[in-house]
Amino acid sequence: MNKAKSETIKDGKAFLRSAFSAEQELLKIQLKFSETSITHDGVMGEVNEQHFIHVLRKYLPKRYAVDHGIVIDSNGTTSDQIDIVIYDNQYTPTLLDQHDHRFIPAEAVYCVLEAKPTINRVYLEYAAKKAKSVRTLERTTVPIPHAGGEYPAKPLFPIIAGIVAADIDWSEGMNSTAFLSNLNTLIGEQKLDCGVALSDKSFDTYDNGVLTINQTINCFAYFIFRLLQKLQSLGTVPAVNWNKYAQFIDG
């Protein structure tokens, strides 16, 4: 009997905690390696984005695409470049793809995340600005025909926004007054719903806006499972009014 099998028999929960902890440590090592071996900040940022994207793709169902990109609406208005976009690619195509460049229709977006080396006041505000650039875009929604008639247009859900990082600058981490104070200043379209610092903890406000900070060593797994539950609660994205996009093209 191998070690993993014997551990599951002895204590299955402890086995899972240990396995997820090892995966989190691997991600931390990958981020640290890029920090110490890549001499260009822009390239290092792109590599670290891909590390986070890779893990999210592993755990999110295939109905959710995970990429970096720019979000666009039917008026041709675009967001800032977004590090990580979780979006629908089953019913909503991306536009004008060129290698790693793509425009993602605003209606397709579930969640946007910024990947940064650390969490501090500057990066929280930066992530909030990126979130606003997506949330202010126009999203369309139309009824969906079916054999017996049509389903009404799906209401638009709030787009999730957050930040992921290796570290956090405050010595007390997410328990610090400074972190909480800076987070609470971000409201409305700049609100950050979730985040994780691999060296510390994760947070989210999924439960009726109440801030939850996890206290486990497996903060990234906790972050992913909470995100999965939130995505599940959103259901599917709205049906796009493609005629609105056609009108923009037609001038």
Instruction: Judge contact between 130 and 82, C-beta under 8 A.
Output: yes
Q: Report the catalytic residues.
A: 83, 114, 116
Long-range contacts of 198-201 (CB under 8 A, 24+ apart): 198/24, 198/27, 198/28, 198/31, 198/165, 198/166, 198/167, 199/28, 199/166, 199/167, 199/168, 199/173, 200/167, 200/168, 200/173, 200/174, 201/173, 201/174, 201/175
Alpha helices in the chain (DSSP H): 3-10, 12-37, 41-59, 121-135, 177-184, 219-234, 242-250
Which residues does residue 119 pair with via DSSP β-bridges, in sequence order?
168
